[in-house]
A and B are shown apart, each in its own frame.
Chain A
Protein backbone atom coordinates (compact mmCIF):
# COMPACT_ATOMS: atom_id res chain seq x y z
CA UNK A 1 0.00 0.00 0.00
CA UNK A 2 3.05 2.20 0.38
CA UNK A 3 3.75 4.19 -2.73
CA UNK A 4 7.18 5.57 -3.58
CA UNK A 5 6.88 9.21 -4.40
CA UNK A 6 9.73 10.84 -6.29
CA UNK A 7 10.67 14.10 -4.58
CA UNK A 8 12.97 16.65 -6.21
CA UNK A 9 14.46 19.89 -4.89
CA UNK A 10 14.43 22.66 -7.45
CA UNK A 11 15.44 26.26 -7.23
CA UNK A 12 13.02 28.87 -8.47
CA UNK A 13 14.57 29.55 -11.83
CA UNK A 14 13.35 29.18 -15.37
CA UNK A 15 13.70 25.87 -17.09
CA UNK A 16 14.35 23.64 -14.11
CA UNK A 17 10.95 21.96 -14.06
CA UNK A 18 11.18 21.48 -17.77
CA UNK A 19 14.55 19.78 -17.39
CA UNK A 20 13.11 17.24 -14.98
CA UNK A 21 10.17 16.39 -17.21
CA UNK A 22 12.45 16.15 -20.27
CA UNK A 23 14.88 13.82 -18.52
CA UNK A 24 12.14 11.50 -17.37
CA UNK A 25 10.26 11.64 -20.64
CA UNK A 26 13.36 10.80 -22.66
CA UNK A 27 13.77 7.65 -20.57
CA UNK A 28 10.18 6.74 -21.25
CA UNK A 29 9.07 7.32 -17.69
CA UNK A 30 5.49 8.40 -17.33
CA UNK A 31 4.11 10.63 -14.62
CA UNK A 32 0.78 9.73 -13.09
CA UNK A 33 0.59 12.53 -10.55
CA UNK A 34 2.54 15.69 -9.90
CA UNK A 35 2.52 18.53 -7.43
CA UNK A 36 4.85 21.48 -7.06
CA UNK A 37 5.14 23.23 -3.72
CA UNK A 38 6.95 26.52 -3.81
CA UNK A 39 8.50 29.04 -1.43
CA UNK A 40 10.02 32.34 -2.44
CA UNK A 41 13.37 30.73 -3.14
CA UNK A 42 12.93 27.07 -3.93
CA UNK A 43 10.33 24.47 -4.77
CA UNK A 44 9.74 20.83 -4.03
CA UNK A 45 8.47 18.74 -6.89
CA UNK A 46 6.52 15.64 -5.85
CA UNK A 47 5.65 13.02 -8.45
CA UNK A 48 4.26 9.56 -8.82
CA UNK A 49 6.03 7.99 -11.78
CA UNK A 50 5.96 4.67 -13.59
CA UNK A 51 9.45 3.55 -12.45
CA UNK A 52 10.44 5.43 -9.30
CA UNK A 53 13.87 3.79 -8.70
CA UNK A 54 14.96 4.26 -12.28
CA UNK A 55 13.70 7.86 -12.28
CA UNK A 56 15.63 8.54 -9.08
CA UNK A 57 18.89 7.34 -10.63
CA UNK A 58 18.33 9.40 -13.76
CA UNK A 59 17.78 12.57 -11.75
CA UNK A 60 20.73 11.91 -9.44
CA UNK A 61 22.96 11.35 -12.44
CA UNK A 62 21.88 14.77 -13.62
CA UNK A 63 22.87 16.23 -10.22
CA UNK A 64 19.40 16.84 -8.87
CA UNK A 65 18.72 16.44 -5.18
CA UNK A 66 16.08 13.75 -5.32
CA UNK A 67 14.78 11.05 -3.06
CA UNK A 68 11.96 8.57 -2.73
CA UNK A 69 9.36 9.29 -0.08
CA UNK A 70 6.73 6.91 1.26
CA UNK A 71 3.17 8.09 0.67
CA UNK A 72 -0.27 6.48 0.49
CA UNK A 73 -3.00 7.03 -2.05
CA UNK A 74 -6.64 6.96 -1.16
CA UNK A 75 -9.23 6.29 -3.81
CA UNK A 76 -12.37 8.11 -2.88
CA UNK A 77 -15.76 8.58 -4.52
CA UNK A 78 -15.87 11.74 -6.61
CA UNK A 79 -18.71 13.36 -4.68
CA UNK A 80 -19.27 16.08 -2.09
CA UNK A 81 -18.04 15.30 1.44
CA UNK A 82 -16.10 12.18 0.43
CA UNK A 83 -12.73 13.76 1.23
CA UNK A 84 -14.14 15.40 4.34
CA UNK A 85 -15.19 12.00 5.69
CA UNK A 86 -11.75 10.53 5.13
CA UNK A 87 -10.02 13.51 6.74
CA UNK A 88 -12.40 13.36 9.69
CA UNK A 89 -11.42 9.78 10.35
CA UNK A 90 -7.71 10.52 10.13
CA UNK A 91 -7.97 13.52 12.36
CA UNK A 92 -10.03 11.65 14.96
CA UNK A 93 -7.47 8.87 15.03
CA UNK A 94 -4.67 11.38 15.45
CA UNK A 95 -2.99 10.97 12.07
CA UNK A 96 -1.32 14.20 11.06
CA UNK A 97 -1.03 15.03 7.36
CA UNK A 98 2.16 16.76 6.22
CA UNK A 99 0.81 17.43 2.74
CA UNK A 100 -1.56 16.02 0.14
CA UNK A 101 -2.50 16.45 -3.48
CA UNK A 102 -5.53 15.06 -5.27
CA UNK A 103 -6.94 14.61 -8.72
CA UNK A 104 -10.17 13.26 -10.19
CA UNK A 105 -9.95 10.06 -12.17
CA UNK A 106 -13.34 10.44 -13.82
CA UNK A 107 -16.89 11.24 -12.72
CA UNK A 108 -16.86 8.39 -10.26
CA UNK A 109 -13.63 8.50 -8.31
CA UNK A 110 -10.67 10.63 -7.27
CA UNK A 111 -7.17 9.82 -6.03
CA UNK A 112 -5.74 11.55 -2.97
CA UNK A 113 -2.02 11.21 -2.35
CA UNK A 114 -1.22 11.66 1.36
CA UNK A 115 1.99 12.09 3.28
CA UNK A 116 1.07 11.29 6.90
CA UNK A 117 3.38 11.65 9.90
CA UNK A 118 2.91 7.97 10.67
CA UNK A 119 2.37 5.96 7.52
CA UNK A 120 1.79 2.59 9.20
CA UNK A 121 -0.91 3.97 11.43
CA UNK A 122 -2.46 5.88 8.54
CA UNK A 123 -2.85 2.69 6.49
CA UNK A 124 -4.28 0.80 9.46
CA UNK A 125 -6.82 3.51 10.17
CA UNK A 126 -7.97 3.82 6.57
CA UNK A 127 -8.25 0.08 6.14
CA UNK A 128 -10.12 -0.31 9.42
CA UNK A 129 -12.67 2.15 8.11
CA UNK A 130 -12.97 0.29 4.83
CA UNK A 131 -11.58 3.11 2.78
CA UNK A 132 -9.98 2.11 -0.49
CA UNK A 133 -6.23 2.44 -0.87
CA UNK A 134 -4.60 2.33 -4.26
CA UNK A 135 -1.92 -0.34 -4.68
CA UNK A 136 1.50 0.86 -5.65
CA UNK A 137 1.66 -1.29 -8.77
CA UNK A 138 -1.66 0.15 -9.94
CA UNK A 139 -0.63 3.67 -9.11
CA UNK A 140 2.58 3.52 -11.18
CA UNK A 141 0.57 2.28 -14.18
CA UNK A 142 -1.94 5.09 -14.35
Chain B
Protein backbone atom coordinates (compact mmCIF):
# COMPACT_ATOMS: atom_id res chain seq x y z
CA UNK B 1 0.00 0.00 0.00
CA UNK B 2 1.16 3.53 -0.79
CA UNK B 3 0.08 5.87 2.02
CA UNK B 4 0.24 9.19 0.13
CA UNK B 5 0.15 8.34 -3.54
CA UNK B 6 -0.12 11.96 -4.63
CA UNK B 7 3.26 12.84 -3.12
CA UNK B 8 5.02 9.52 -3.24
CA UNK B 9 4.26 8.95 -6.92
CA UNK B 10 4.34 12.55 -8.18
CA UNK B 11 6.27 13.09 -11.38
CA UNK B 12 9.46 15.13 -11.09
CA UNK B 13 7.94 18.39 -12.29
CA UNK B 14 5.14 18.18 -9.75
CA UNK B 15 7.62 17.38 -7.00
CA UNK B 16 9.86 20.26 -8.01
CA UNK B 17 6.91 22.64 -7.94
CA UNK B 18 5.99 21.51 -4.43
CA UNK B 19 9.59 21.75 -3.28
CA UNK B 20 10.06 25.20 -4.79
CA UNK B 21 6.96 26.59 -3.12
CA UNK B 22 7.87 25.15 0.27
CA UNK B 23 11.54 26.10 0.01
CA UNK B 24 10.67 29.75 -0.70
CA UNK B 25 8.33 29.84 2.29
CA UNK B 26 10.94 28.28 4.56
CA UNK B 27 13.73 30.63 3.47
CA UNK B 28 11.54 33.69 3.99
CA UNK B 29 10.52 32.48 7.41
CA UNK B 30 13.96 31.69 8.74
CA UNK B 31 15.41 34.89 7.29
CA UNK B 32 12.98 36.87 9.38
CA UNK B 33 12.98 34.69 12.49
CA UNK B 34 16.49 33.36 13.09
CA UNK B 35 19.30 35.86 13.57
CA UNK B 36 22.07 33.39 12.77
CA UNK B 37 20.48 32.40 9.44
CA UNK B 38 19.84 36.01 8.48
CA UNK B 39 23.44 36.86 9.24
CA UNK B 40 24.75 33.92 7.20
CA UNK B 41 22.55 34.87 4.24
CA UNK B 42 23.60 38.49 4.48
CA UNK B 43 27.24 37.45 4.52
CA UNK B 44 26.56 35.49 1.32
CA UNK B 45 24.85 38.58 -0.12
CA UNK B 46 21.47 36.87 -0.28
CA UNK B 47 17.91 37.98 0.39
CA UNK B 48 14.93 35.58 0.37
CA UNK B 49 13.92 36.75 -3.14
CA UNK B 50 17.16 35.35 -4.53
CA UNK B 51 15.70 31.89 -3.98
CA UNK B 52 13.20 31.42 -6.77
CA UNK B 53 13.34 27.66 -7.26
CA UNK B 54 14.93 24.44 -6.07
CA UNK B 55 17.80 25.20 -8.45
CA UNK B 56 18.76 28.16 -6.28
CA UNK B 57 19.23 25.90 -3.27
CA UNK B 58 22.97 25.68 -3.96
CA UNK B 59 23.32 29.43 -3.36
CA UNK B 60 22.37 29.04 0.30
CA UNK B 61 24.98 28.59 3.03
CA UNK B 62 25.33 25.23 4.77
CA UNK B 63 24.24 24.44 8.29
CA UNK B 64 26.42 22.16 10.41
CA UNK B 65 26.11 20.43 13.76
CA UNK B 66 28.21 23.10 15.49
CA UNK B 67 25.61 25.72 14.48
CA UNK B 68 23.16 23.87 16.70
CA UNK B 69 25.67 23.71 19.49
CA UNK B 70 26.56 27.41 19.18
CA UNK B 71 22.88 28.23 19.53
CA UNK B 72 22.31 25.75 22.36
CA UNK B 73 19.70 24.97 23.45
CA UNK B 74 16.87 26.74 21.59
CA UNK B 75 18.62 29.46 19.56
CA UNK B 76 17.77 27.91 16.19
CA UNK B 77 14.06 27.52 16.91
CA UNK B 78 11.93 29.67 14.63
CA UNK B 79 8.80 29.68 16.76
CA UNK B 80 8.16 30.79 20.34
CA UNK B 81 8.40 28.04 22.96
CA UNK B 82 4.63 28.16 23.38
CA UNK B 83 4.42 26.55 19.92
CA UNK B 84 6.93 23.80 20.74
CA UNK B 85 5.24 20.64 22.00
CA UNK B 86 8.17 18.20 22.03
CA UNK B 87 11.92 18.37 22.51
CA UNK B 88 14.38 15.66 21.51
CA UNK B 89 18.15 15.65 21.78
CA UNK B 90 21.02 13.59 20.49
CA UNK B 91 24.65 13.58 21.51
CA UNK B 92 26.66 16.49 20.24
CA UNK B 93 30.31 16.61 19.30
CA UNK B 94 31.64 17.91 22.61
CA UNK B 95 29.31 16.93 25.39
CA UNK B 96 26.49 19.37 24.81
CA UNK B 97 23.57 17.63 23.14
CA UNK B 98 22.05 18.69 19.83
CA UNK B 99 18.56 19.88 20.67
CA UNK B 100 15.56 19.90 18.35
CA UNK B 101 12.01 21.13 18.92
CA UNK B 102 8.77 20.10 17.23
CA UNK B 103 5.52 22.01 16.81
CA UNK B 104 2.19 20.17 16.68
CA UNK B 105 2.40 20.35 12.88
CA UNK B 106 5.95 18.98 12.92
CA UNK B 107 4.79 15.97 14.93
CA UNK B 108 2.02 15.42 12.40
CA UNK B 109 4.55 15.60 9.57
CA UNK B 110 6.78 13.16 11.40
CA UNK B 111 3.90 10.73 11.92
CA UNK B 112 3.04 11.08 8.22
CA UNK B 113 6.56 10.23 7.02
CA UNK B 114 6.86 7.32 9.45
CA UNK B 115 3.48 6.00 8.35
CA UNK B 116 4.61 6.24 4.72
CA UNK B 117 7.79 4.38 5.69
CA UNK B 118 5.84 1.61 7.41
CA UNK B 119 3.66 1.21 4.33
CA UNK B 120 6.78 1.07 2.17
CA UNK B 121 7.98 -1.76 4.42
CA UNK B 122 4.68 -3.57 3.91
CA UNK B 123 3.29 -2.96 7.39
CA UNK B 124 -0.49 -2.59 7.67
CA UNK B 125 -3.08 -1.83 10.33
CA UNK B 126 -3.56 -5.48 11.28
CA UNK B 127 0.08 -5.69 12.34
CA UNK B 128 1.31 -5.80 15.92
CA UNK B 129 4.44 -3.72 16.09
CA UNK B 130 6.96 -4.21 18.87
CA UNK B 131 9.04 -1.05 19.21
CA UNK B 132 12.33 -1.96 20.80
CA UNK B 133 14.04 1.35 20.02
CA UNK B 134 14.74 3.44 23.09
CA UNK B 135 11.95 5.79 24.14
CA UNK B 136 13.07 9.15 25.45
CA UNK B 137 15.30 11.91 24.16
CA UNK B 138 16.39 9.58 21.36
CA UNK B 139 13.98 9.95 18.42
CA UNK B 140 13.85 6.24 17.56
CA UNK B 141 11.16 5.01 19.94
CA UNK B 142 8.64 7.85 19.91
CA UNK B 143 9.19 8.50 16.19
CA UNK B 144 8.18 4.98 15.22
CA UNK B 145 5.46 4.96 17.84
CA UNK B 146 3.34 7.80 16.49
CA UNK B 147 3.81 6.65 12.91
CA UNK B 148 2.46 3.21 13.84
CA UNK B 149 -0.51 4.66 15.67
CA UNK B 150 -1.22 6.96 12.74
CA UNK B 151 -1.25 3.91 10.47
CA UNK B 152 -3.57 2.12 12.86
CA UNK B 153 -1.27 -0.77 13.71
CA UNK B 154 -1.14 -2.04 17.30
CA UNK B 155 1.90 -0.75 19.11
CA UNK B 156 3.83 -2.52 21.87
CA UNK B 157 5.92 0.33 23.30
CA UNK B 158 8.41 -1.93 25.06
CA UNK B 159 11.45 0.31 24.39
CA UNK B 160 15.01 -1.06 24.29
CA UNK B 161 16.61 -3.79 26.38
CA UNK B 162 14.95 -6.34 28.66
CA UNK B 163 15.49 -9.17 26.21
CA UNK B 164 13.56 -11.83 28.13
CA UNK B 165 10.46 -9.69 28.11
CA UNK B 166 10.92 -8.86 24.43
CA UNK B 167 10.88 -12.57 23.63
CA UNK B 168 7.98 -13.30 25.95
CA UNK B 169 5.74 -10.60 24.46
CA UNK B 170 6.80 -11.54 20.97
CA UNK B 171 5.42 -15.01 21.63
CA UNK B 172 2.40 -14.12 23.76
CA UNK B 173 1.18 -11.11 21.76
CA UNK B 174 1.99 -12.51 18.33
CA UNK B 175 4.25 -9.61 17.31
CA UNK B 176 4.43 -9.39 13.54
CA UNK B 177 6.71 -6.38 13.13
CA UNK B 178 9.88 -5.69 15.06
CA UNK B 179 11.45 -2.22 15.13
CA UNK B 180 14.95 -1.89 16.63
CA UNK B 181 18.59 -1.54 15.71
CA UNK B 182 19.80 -4.28 13.34
CA UNK B 183 22.43 -5.43 15.83
CA UNK B 184 19.81 -5.81 18.55
CA UNK B 185 17.69 -7.94 16.23
CA UNK B 186 20.60 -10.32 15.81
CA UNK B 187 21.09 -10.37 19.56
CA UNK B 188 17.41 -11.25 19.96
CA UNK B 189 17.86 -14.02 17.42
CA UNK B 190 20.72 -15.45 19.45
CA UNK B 191 18.75 -15.27 22.67
CA UNK B 192 15.81 -16.95 20.93
CA UNK B 193 18.04 -19.80 19.95
CA UNK B 194 19.39 -20.08 23.50
CA UNK B 195 15.84 -20.12 24.87
CA UNK B 196 14.80 -22.77 22.36
CA UNK B 197 12.34 -20.50 20.54
CA UNK B 198 12.09 -21.26 16.83
CA UNK B 199 11.32 -18.60 14.25
CA UNK B 200 8.37 -20.78 13.18
CA UNK B 201 6.91 -20.31 16.67
CA UNK B 202 6.67 -16.56 16.09
CA UNK B 203 4.50 -14.46 13.80
CA UNK B 204 7.28 -12.03 12.90
CA UNK B 205 7.29 -11.08 9.24
CA UNK B 206 8.88 -7.62 8.96
CA UNK B 207 11.73 -5.81 10.72
CA UNK B 208 12.20 -2.03 10.62
CA UNK B 209 15.86 -1.50 11.33
CA UNK B 210 17.87 1.68 11.57
CA UNK B 211 19.87 4.06 13.77
CA UNK B 212 23.17 2.38 12.91
CA UNK B 213 25.05 1.24 9.82
CA UNK B 214 24.56 -2.35 8.69
CA UNK B 215 25.56 -4.39 5.70
CA UNK B 216 23.81 -6.56 3.14
CA UNK B 217 25.38 -9.57 4.84
CA UNK B 218 23.80 -8.59 8.13
CA UNK B 219 20.51 -8.24 6.32
CA UNK B 220 20.79 -11.78 4.96
CA UNK B 221 21.64 -13.10 8.40
CA UNK B 222 18.74 -11.29 10.08
CA UNK B 223 16.28 -12.38 7.39
CA UNK B 224 17.42 -15.97 7.68
CA UNK B 225 17.54 -16.18 11.46
CA UNK B 226 14.26 -14.41 12.14
CA UNK B 227 12.43 -15.45 8.98
CA UNK B 228 11.47 -11.88 8.16
CA UNK B 229 11.94 -9.15 5.57
CA UNK B 230 14.50 -6.70 6.99
CA UNK B 231 13.83 -3.11 5.97
CA UNK B 232 16.29 -0.24 6.36
CA UNK B 233 14.93 3.02 7.75
CA UNK B 234 16.96 6.22 7.90
CA UNK B 235 16.72 9.45 9.79
CA UNK B 236 18.48 11.89 12.03
CA UNK B 237 17.01 13.97 14.79
CA UNK B 238 18.26 17.25 13.32
CA UNK B 239 16.12 16.68 10.23
CA UNK B 240 13.21 14.87 11.93
CA UNK B 241 14.12 11.45 13.29
CA UNK B 242 13.38 8.06 11.70
CA UNK B 243 11.31 8.28 8.56
CA UNK B 244 13.40 10.76 6.60
CA UNK B 245 13.73 7.85 4.22
CA UNK B 246 12.91 4.15 4.15
CA UNK B 247 13.19 1.15 1.87
CA UNK B 248 10.19 -0.36 0.17
CA UNK B 249 9.69 -4.11 -0.09
CA UNK B 250 11.97 -4.22 -3.13
CA UNK B 251 14.90 -3.16 -0.95
CA UNK B 252 16.56 -1.10 -3.66
CA UNK B 253 17.45 2.07 -1.79
CA UNK B 254 15.59 4.20 0.72
CA UNK B 255 12.85 6.47 -0.58
CA UNK B 256 13.39 9.97 0.74
CA UNK B 257 10.24 11.86 1.72
CA UNK B 258 11.48 14.69 -0.45
CA UNK B 259 8.32 16.77 -0.30
CA UNK B 260 9.50 17.46 3.28
CA UNK B 261 13.26 17.05 3.05
CA UNK B 262 15.17 18.03 -0.10
CA UNK B 263 18.35 15.96 -0.47
CA UNK B 264 21.55 17.02 -2.20
CA UNK B 265 24.85 15.24 -2.58
CA UNK B 266 27.97 17.36 -2.24
CA UNK B 267 31.68 16.81 -2.42
CA UNK B 268 32.66 17.06 1.28
CA UNK B 269 35.95 18.75 0.35
CA UNK B 270 34.95 21.29 -2.30
CA UNK B 271 31.36 21.54 -0.95
CA UNK B 272 30.14 21.63 -4.57
CA UNK B 273 26.95 19.72 -5.48
CA UNK B 274 27.60 16.45 -7.29
CA UNK B 275 25.51 15.06 -10.17
CA UNK B 276 22.94 12.34 -9.45
CA UNK B 277 24.51 8.92 -8.99
CA UNK B 278 27.82 10.12 -7.58
CA UNK B 279 28.83 9.26 -4.04
CA UNK B 280 29.22 12.21 -1.70
CA UNK B 281 27.95 13.75 1.49
CA UNK B 282 24.21 13.86 1.98
CA UNK B 283 22.78 17.31 2.69
CA UNK B 284 19.16 17.99 3.67
CA UNK B 285 16.98 21.08 3.60
CA UNK B 286 13.76 20.79 5.55
CA UNK B 287 10.92 22.57 3.79
CA UNK B 288 7.91 21.98 6.02
CA UNK B 289 9.40 22.04 9.47
CA UNK B 290 8.32 24.80 11.81
CA UNK B 291 10.18 24.20 15.08
CA UNK B 292 13.69 24.08 13.76
CA UNK B 293 13.94 24.22 9.98
CA UNK B 294 17.43 23.49 8.71
CA UNK B 295 18.88 24.78 5.47
CA UNK B 296 21.41 22.59 3.68
CA UNK B 297 22.23 20.62 6.80
CA UNK B 298 25.37 18.52 6.35
CA UNK B 299 24.55 15.02 7.62
CA UNK B 300 28.16 13.78 7.19
CA UNK B 301 26.71 10.54 5.84
CA UNK B 302 28.19 9.41 2.55
CA UNK B 303 25.79 7.98 -0.01
CA UNK B 304 24.38 8.42 -3.53
CA UNK B 305 20.97 9.27 -4.98
CA UNK B 306 18.90 7.51 -7.61
CA UNK B 307 16.05 9.46 -9.27
CA UNK B 308 14.62 6.57 -11.31
CA UNK B 309 11.06 5.46 -10.67
CA UNK B 310 11.01 2.40 -8.41
CA UNK B 311 9.32 -0.90 -9.26
CA UNK B 312 6.95 -0.19 -6.36
CA UNK B 313 5.59 2.78 -8.28
CA UNK B 314 7.06 5.47 -6.08
CA UNK B 315 8.97 8.29 -7.68
CA UNK B 316 10.50 9.53 -4.44
CA UNK B 317 14.26 9.72 -4.92
CA UNK B 318 16.14 6.82 -3.38
CA UNK B 319 19.35 6.95 -1.34
CA UNK B 320 21.75 4.05 -1.03
CA UNK B 321 22.68 2.60 2.34
CA UNK B 322 25.19 4.98 3.92
CA UNK B 323 28.71 4.04 2.94
CA UNK B 324 30.49 5.85 5.76
CA UNK B 325 30.97 9.24 7.33
CA UNK B 326 32.81 12.37 6.30
CA UNK B 327 33.62 13.07 9.94
CA UNK B 328 34.85 10.92 12.80
CA UNK B 329 31.47 10.09 14.34
CA UNK B 330 30.98 6.48 15.39
CA UNK B 331 27.65 4.81 15.84
CA UNK B 332 27.79 2.34 18.72
CA UNK B 333 24.61 0.41 19.49
CA UNK B 334 22.62 3.18 17.86
CA UNK B 335 24.31 5.88 19.91
CA UNK B 336 26.35 8.61 18.24
CA UNK B 337 29.83 8.87 19.67
CA UNK B 338 32.40 11.49 18.76
CA UNK B 339 36.03 11.01 19.80
CA UNK B 340 35.99 14.69 20.84
CA UNK B 341 33.44 13.87 23.56
CA UNK B 342 35.88 11.41 25.06
CA UNK B 343 38.62 13.97 24.85
CA UNK B 344 36.54 16.52 26.75
CA UNK B 345 35.78 13.99 29.50
CA UNK B 346 39.50 13.26 29.87
CA UNK B 347 40.27 16.96 29.88
CA UNK B 348 37.99 17.41 32.85
CA UNK B 349 40.19 14.97 34.76
CA UNK B 350 43.47 16.77 34.21
CA UNK B 351 45.01 19.85 32.69
CA UNK B 352 46.28 18.13 29.60
CA UNK B 353 44.34 15.42 27.84
CA UNK B 354 46.25 12.18 27.82
CA UNK B 355 46.74 10.12 24.71
CA UNK B 356 43.91 7.71 24.22
CA UNK B 357 42.70 5.13 21.75
CA UNK B 358 39.17 3.97 21.19
CA UNK B 359 38.73 0.44 20.02
CA UNK B 360 35.36 -0.57 18.65
CA UNK B 361 34.66 -4.27 18.36
CA UNK B 362 31.63 -6.31 17.51
CA UNK B 363 31.44 -9.16 19.99
CA UNK B 364 28.76 -11.57 18.92
CA UNK B 365 26.31 -9.03 17.59
CA UNK B 366 26.83 -6.22 20.03
CA UNK B 367 29.25 -3.36 19.64
CA UNK B 368 31.70 -2.79 22.44
CA UNK B 369 33.80 0.24 23.11
CA UNK B 370 37.18 -0.04 24.77
CA UNK B 371 39.20 3.00 25.74
CA UNK B 372 42.92 2.81 26.32
CA UNK B 373 44.28 5.74 28.29
CA UNK B 374 47.98 6.36 28.65
CA UNK B 375 48.96 6.88 32.26
CA UNK B 376 51.13 9.93 32.06
CA UNK B 377 52.48 11.87 34.98
CA UNK B 378 49.35 13.91 35.60
CA UNK B 379 47.40 10.68 36.16
CA UNK B 380 50.00 8.54 37.82
CA UNK B 381 49.91 7.70 41.49
CA UNK B 382 51.99 5.27 43.50
CA UNK B 383 48.80 3.93 45.08
CA UNK B 384 46.72 1.30 43.39
CA UNK B 385 43.46 2.49 44.88
CA UNK B 386 44.05 5.94 43.38
CA UNK B 387 44.60 4.46 39.94
CA UNK B 388 41.55 2.21 40.31
CA UNK B 389 39.52 5.22 41.46
CA UNK B 390 40.70 7.14 38.41
CA UNK B 391 39.72 4.30 36.13
CA UNK B 392 36.28 4.10 37.72
CA UNK B 393 35.83 7.86 37.51
CA UNK B 394 36.65 7.90 33.78
CA UNK B 395 34.34 4.92 33.21
CA UNK B 396 31.49 6.52 35.09
CA UNK B 397 31.90 9.93 33.48
CA UNK B 398 31.98 8.41 29.99
CA UNK B 399 28.89 6.35 30.74
CA UNK B 400 26.96 9.44 31.77
CA UNK B 401 28.26 11.59 28.89
CA UNK B 402 27.91 9.06 26.08
CA UNK B 403 25.05 6.99 27.43
CA UNK B 404 26.84 3.71 26.76
CA UNK B 405 29.32 1.73 28.79
CA UNK B 406 32.99 1.90 27.96
CA UNK B 407 35.66 -0.52 29.12
CA UNK B 408 38.54 1.68 30.30
CA UNK B 409 42.06 0.29 30.40
CA UNK B 410 45.08 2.17 31.73
CA UNK B 411 48.20 1.64 29.66
CA UNK B 412 51.80 2.81 29.70
CA UNK B 413 52.86 6.00 27.92
CA UNK B 414 53.69 5.69 24.21
CA UNK B 415 51.79 2.41 24.00
CA UNK B 416 49.43 4.05 21.56
CA UNK B 417 50.91 4.29 18.14
CA UNK B 418 51.61 7.77 16.76
CA UNK B 419 51.75 8.62 13.13
CA UNK B 420 53.63 11.81 12.27
CA UNK B 421 53.35 12.94 15.87
CA UNK B 422 49.59 12.64 15.87
CA UNK B 423 48.00 9.80 17.74
CA UNK B 424 45.44 7.64 16.03
CA UNK B 425 42.24 8.05 18.02
CA UNK B 426 39.96 5.31 16.79
CA UNK B 427 40.29 1.74 15.62
CA UNK B 428 37.05 0.32 14.34
CA UNK B 429 37.37 -3.44 14.11
CA UNK B 430 33.73 -4.01 13.20
CA UNK B 431 33.32 -5.52 9.80
CA UNK B 432 30.51 -3.45 8.37
Interface residues of A (CB under 8 A from B): 5, 7, 9-11, 16, 37, 39, 41-42, 44, 46, 63-67, 69, 98-99, 115
B412–A11 touching, CB < 8 Å: yes
A46–B384 touching, CB < 8 Å: no
Sample of 14 A–B contacts (CB below 8 Å): A5-B382, A9-B412, A16-B412, A37-B384, A41-B410, A42-B387, A42-B411, A44-B384, A46-B382, A65-B374, A65-B377, A65-B379, A67-B377, A115-B383
B380: chain A residues at CB < 8 Å are: 7, 9, 65-67
A98–B412 touching, CB < 8 Å: no
User: Which of A7, A46, A64, A99 interacts with B412 by CB under 8 Å?
Assistant: A64
The CA-CA distance from A10 to B413 in the complex, in Å, is 10
Query: Beyond A39-B388, A63-B412, is A98–B383 a contact (Cβ under 8 Å)?
Result: yes
The CA-CA distance from A7 to B377 in the complex, in Å, is 11
The CA-CA distance from A7 to B414 in the complex, in Å, is 18
B412: chain A residues at CB < 8 Å are: 9-11, 16, 63-65
Q: How far is the CB of A115 from chain B (nearest CB, A)?
A: 7
B384–A39 touching, CB < 8 Å: yes
User: Which of A7, A39, A41, A42 interacts with B382 by CB under 8 Å?
Assistant: A7
Chain B's interface: helix, strand, loop or mixed, by majority? loop
The CA-CA distance from A39 to B386 in the complex, in Å, is 12
Residue of A nearest to B388 (CB): A39
On chain B, the number of residues with a Cβ less than 8 Å from chain A's Cβ atoms is 18
A11–B415 touching, CB < 8 Å: yes
A41–B375 touching, CB < 8 Å: no
B382: chain A residues at CB < 8 Å are: 5, 7, 44, 46, 67, 69, 115
Interface residues of B (CB under 8 A from A): 374-377, 379-380, 382-384, 387-388, 409-415
Query: Beyond A39-B388, A65-B376, A65-B377, is A11–B383 a contact (Cβ under 8 Å)?
Result: no
The 3 closest A-B CB pairs, nearest first, are A7-B382, A63-B414, A69-B382
B377: chain A residues at CB < 8 Å are: 65, 67
The CA-CA distance from A66 to B379 in the complex, in Å, is 11
B383–A9 touching, CB < 8 Å: no
